[in-house]
Amino acid sequence: MGFFSEKSAELEPSGNIEDIKDYNKIIESNPEIQKVYESMGLKTTRQSSLSQSIKDYDKAIKSNPNSAIAYFLHGTAQFNAHNYEAAIADCTRTIKLDPQYAGAYFVRGTANYNLKNFMPAIEDFNKAIELDPKCAETFYMRGLAKEELKQYKSASEDYSSAGKLWYSAKIDQTNNPK
């Protein structure tokens, strides 16, 4: 399962909340509900409102400054808004709170890659692979970073690993449809 869906699936409150207004009603009754802010951020992200998502995640962090997932979601929104330095800072905070959070290493590595910080990107991808060795995207991104550093043989090995993992995932989906 991907980094984002795995942790964020638990954020959706029970019930059928379809509209941002419904989240606002819940928050009005208890403004310290961190998961509601996180859920609002996910909903606004899905509606392509990154600036609102970032504000919602700001509130989630303020509500619980020790929430690794709030920092991770904030960092992911910052990444999607191309605020790579902010994404790196949020993912670093996520990692301090939860050193086993593979997705934070992946997003931080990808942000570093986009800033052309290839060695730190590779270090983050290495750690993400150590924590989640079945994520094809991480092998692929590490291959891209290695290619930028002219480490062609090693990059090719990562691309091959990514391809095998993608193929294996496709076979699993075919054999085990949901």
Distance CA 109, CA 132 (A): 14
**Pair of tokens at residue 6:** 């795995």
Pseudo-torsion of CA 12, 18, 21, 26, nearest 10°?
A: -40
Q: State the DSSP code for 13.
A: P
Cβ 134 vs Cβ 126: under 8 Å: no
Each residue's pLDDT, cut to its tens digit, for the chain (178 residues) gives 344 444 444 444 444 445 555 555 554 555 454 454 445 454 555 445 778 888 888 988 998 899 999 999 999 999 999 999 999 999 999 999 999 999 999 999 999 999 999 999 999 999 999 999 999 999 999 999 999 999 999 999 999 999 999 888 777 667 777 6
**Pair of tokens at residue 38:** 């996180």
Cβ 131 vs Cβ 98: under 8 Å: no
**Pair of tokens at residue 105:** 């290493």
* pLDDT for res 121: 98
Domains of the chain: 3-128 (1.25.40.10)
Pseudo-torsion of CA 53, 121, 117, 146, nearest 10°?
A: -130
* pLDDT for res 21: 55
* pLDDT for res 115: 98
Smallest CA-to-CA distance from 91 within 81, 79, 146, 55 is with 79
Q: State the DSSP code for 24.
A: H
Distance CA 44, CA 136 (A): 28
Distance CA 99, CA 51 (A): 27
* Start-to-end C-alpha separation, the chain: 13
Cβ 92 vs Cβ 109: under 8 Å: no
**Pair of tokens at residue 154:** 């090693």
